[in-house]
Amino acid sequence: MTTVGFVRHGVTAWNKQGRAQGSTDIPLDEEGIRMAVRVADRLAADGWDAIYTSPWKRAKRTAELIGEKISNADVMEDTRIRERAGGLIEGTTEADRRAKWGPEWKQLDLQGETHDSVITRGMSFIEEMQQRYPEGRVLAVSHGGFIKRLLSELLPGTTYEEPLGNTSLTIVKLDAEQNVCELFNCTEHLHEMKL
């Protein structure tokens, strides 16, 4: 049985401003780096076989910091686990979107990547991990929007309304009969951190 640990990247300036990032390649800020070090410390003793990361700077730097603490696991980029492209909303806040397109902006075609496209590439990644690591433990350092969409596919019938915290850890055991979420959106490694 393959276990996948999904880690959302550390915080960025745009996260703090409430700006949609999508495929815009925003780096971690200083706090985001500290958060990534904290999740790396947490994961160091857990026995992971591999670390895969989105190519975007915020995820890649988070993964690199985790990789420094897990000596036996290489960090590998995989474009399939990048964030959903946001189209015209990238760089905007909720207030910007309401001002520009009105309160029903989510109903408009604003040229973002489709849900089906995200799921297709996400499931391709999952299937490859199951083949490569049939009894292994893999970390996927990615993005909140991507992870939540993929969880909805891996765990049908479940709804996770709360947003994923920066550097949160979600662990899913992949089973042919029924996948199991062992841990969701856990950020206890940040509890003593002065943010």
pLDDT for residue 162 is more than 90: no
pLDDT tens readout for residues 171-187: 999 998 999 999 999 99
Domains defined along the chain, listed by start: 2-190 (3.40.50.1240)
Q: Look at residue 195 in the predicted model and tell me its pLDDT.
A: 52
Any idea which residues carry the catalytic annotation? 9, 83
| pLDDT 10s digits, 20-32 | 999 999 999 999 9
pLDDT, tens digit, 9 for 90 and up, residues 47-89 = 899 999 999 999 999 999 999 999 888 999 999 999 999 999 9
Q: From CA 59, how far away is CA 121, in angstroms rounded?
A: 17
Per-state percent for the chain, helix, strand, coil, to nearest 5: 40, 20, 40
Instruction: Compute the distance between CA of residue 145 and CA of residue 93 in angstroms, rounded to an integer.
Output: 15
pLDDT at 192 over 80: no
**Tens of pLDDT along 126-159?**
999 999 999 999 999 999 999 999 999 999 988 8
Residue 171 tokens read as 């662990």
Q: For the residues of 61-117, what is the DSSP string, one character each?
A: HHHHHHHHH-TT--EEE-GGGSPPP-GGGTT--HHHHHHHH-TTGGGS--SPPPHHH
**Residue holding tokens 């309304």?**
161
Q: Which residue has the tokens 């890649």?
A: 60
